[in-house]
Amino acid sequence: MTHWCAVPKVYDPLKAGSIDGTDTEPHDRAILRAMNAKYKPNKNVVGDPDNTVFVGRLSPNTDEEMIEEHFKKYGKIKRLRLVRDIVTGFSRCYAFVEYFNNDDAYGAQRNADKTVLDEKEIYVDFECERTMKGWIPRRLGGGICGKKESGQLRFGGINRPFKKPFNVDSIQNTEGSTFRERLDVQERGDLRDRDRYNRPEGNMYSQRDRGQRSGDRRSRDRSEKGQSSRDRRRSRSRTSERSRHKH
């Protein structure tokens, strides 16, 4: 863990499925499928990967002209490819934009990410297939980022980096080896403290219980005082009636 970093340079499906990159077991089938995948980068892809950005979450109606119009403001575009289905020809909602120089690609990634194109907020990152060793695409269970609705959150990218573990310099942790285990230990400790504070015996009452008990005590005292005053009035009325009868 001494070489831990928020954005790794080598892709590991198991770590990508972890919040802090310390998981030792896959928690969903997609990670297991990515770990067993025998994927190799496409050798037919042309262009400089260091000058290429990946554009995802596009609208199905977005075409090449709209993408070019949106990204040419960040630099001169050398090549643009909107990935389409080989059978239907429909857009698969992601594309690759290659610039002539590296500075324009960095500027596009930094400034175009989370912008709106054709009424959709797009995701822009650097190309990973040819630049990150061990890369597995999302269709095989890999990838970075993702949505909560899909149940396949992936970390380690610029848009969703790893969260720093509690103790980076220590490999062994008596309270759990992964982020989730340490979080469970912390939650259990919080529950114990809350239960102990809300325990009915002794003086360990919660603030709400103390307020309720004091309110009940005050209402009981008021009712007792009211009862005693009524009794005194009744006794005085009986005494006055007896005195009238005597006279």
**Which sequence spans correspond to the domains of the chain?**
13-140, 205-247
Taking the C-alpha atoms of residue 44 and residue 200, their distance in angstroms, rounded to an integer, is: 72
Summarize the confidence of residues 154-177 as an average pLDDT.
70
Contact 93, 57 (CB under 8 A): yes
Contact 175, 181 (CB under 8 A): yes
Each residue of 199-225: pLDDT tens digit? 555 444 444 555 555 566 666 666 665
Q: Is the confidence at residue 179, as pLDDT, over 60? A: no
Burial of 76: CB neighbours in 10 Å, binned 0-12, 13-18, 19+: exposed
Element (H, E) at 180: helix 179-197
* Residue 80 pLDDT grade (very low, low, confident, very high; cuts 50, 70, 90): very high
The neighbour count for residue 28, using CB atoms within 10 Å, is 13
The pLDDT of residue 220: 63
CA angle, 105 then 89 then 70, to 5°: 30
CATH superfamily label, 13-140: RRM (RNA recognition motif) domain (3.30.70.330)
Summarize the confidence of residues 118-128 as an average pLDDT.
92
211 phi/psi in degrees, rounded to 5: -65, -40
Summarize the confidence of residues 53-77 as an average pLDDT.
95
Residues contacting 19, CB < 8 A, separation 6+: 155, 162, 163, 179, 180
pTM over 0.85: no
Summarize the confidence of residues 179-185 as an average pLDDT.
59
Q: Is the confidence at residue 23, as pLDDT, over 50? A: yes
Copy the structure tokens of residue 247. 């006279």
